[in-house]
Amino acid sequence: GESVGLHLPTLSVQEGDNSIINCAYSNSASDYFIWYKQESGKGPQFIIDIRSNMDKRQGQRVTVLLNKTVKHLSLQIAATQPGDSAVYFCAENGSGGGADGLTFGKGTHLIIQP
């Protein structure tokens, strides 16, 4: 079946370095993608989204890149801070327009080394 997945379950980076979290998707009908951050014991928190008519979108210290050719999504976090430690999920809208929620990947655990 079609699914959203992540390349690496755990990513360890030095504080101050840039982090890149990757996500592969297989549903070519998806036209909307979101990155969520989930801290331990909390619900997912929206970080940034991107539509399929865009290649790049920037927020505060975060950038999302979308490569539709290879069905790849990435989240870049600049100057990683201890507060960035969390599990990061990518999600897609699956059938492309339905209200039946999002399809989530398994998540990447970002660990910040002091």
Partner 1 sequence: NAGVTQTPKFRILKIGQSMTLQCTQDMNHNYMYWYRQDPGMGLKLIYYSVGAGITDKGEVPNGYNVSRSTTEDFPLRLELAAPSQTSVYFCASSQQVYEQYFGPGTRLTVT
Q: Which stretches of the chain bind partner 1, using CB under 8 A?
A: 4, 9, 32, 34, 41-46, 49, 89, 91, 93, 97-102, 104-107
CB of 59 to partner 1, least distance (A): 13
DSSP 99: S
What is the spatial order of strands in the sheet that 62-67 belongs to? 4-5, 19-25, 72-77, 62-67, 56-58
CB of 42 to partner 1, least distance (A): 6
> What are 10's strand-pairing partners?
109
Distance of CA 49 to the CA centre of its chain: 9
CB of 4 to partner 1, least distance (A): 8
Contacts of 69 (CB under 8 A, 6+ apart): none
Q: Considering beta carbons, is residue 32 or 76 the nearer one to partner 1?
A: 32
Q: Considering beta carbons, is residue 66 or 89 the nearer one to partner 1?
A: 89
Distance, CA of 75 to CA of 90 (rounded, Å): 9
Q: Considering beta carbons, is residue 44 or 86 the nearer one to partner 1?
A: 44
CB of 113 to partner 1, least distance (A): 22
